[in-house]
Amino acid sequence: MLDGKLTKMDADNAFAGEIASMSFDFPFTMLPNEHKRKDSHPDYIIEARTPKNRAIRIGSAWEATSKAGNDYFSLALNLQQGVVRANAVKDEETADGEFRIIPLLPAAA
């Protein structure tokens, strides 16, 4: 089980995030990818802090729009249990500038 949220920050089109499960709970930052050169490159990089307060990249995010016309973020996070794919979506419970993180279920074998 995974829970988290993104909140738009005031400057530089960045987001503050938090993500938690039974084995981890930490904040992260989602920053615009200044090195994006192709559409397939991520729109954002996701960074967290080590116990010694060093920034490390833990993932990537892409801006997307659903078939219904709703904006969301597609996330790929390299966490303790491996790469986790999730979407950050707006719903009736999120405030303006907030997105709820919903993990994607693995594909059936």
* Per-domain boundaries in the chain: 3-103
Alpha helices by DSSP H, listed for 27-103, are none
Averaged pLDDT, 17-38: 91
pTM value? Answer: 0.87
Instruction: Please report the pLDDT score of residue 109 as a whole number.
Output: 45
Residue 107 has pLDDT above 70, yes or no: no
User: Mean of the per-residue pLDDT values for the chain?
Assistant: 89
CB 12 within 8 A of CB 31: yes
Instruction: Please report the pLDDT score of residue 34 as a whole number.
Output: 93
Q: What is the β-pairing status of strands 82-89 and 3-8?
A: unpaired
- Grade residue 91 by pLDDT with cuts at 50, 70 and 90: confident
Q: Residue 66 class from Cβ within 10 Å (0-12 exposed, 13-18 middle, 19+ buried)?
A: exposed
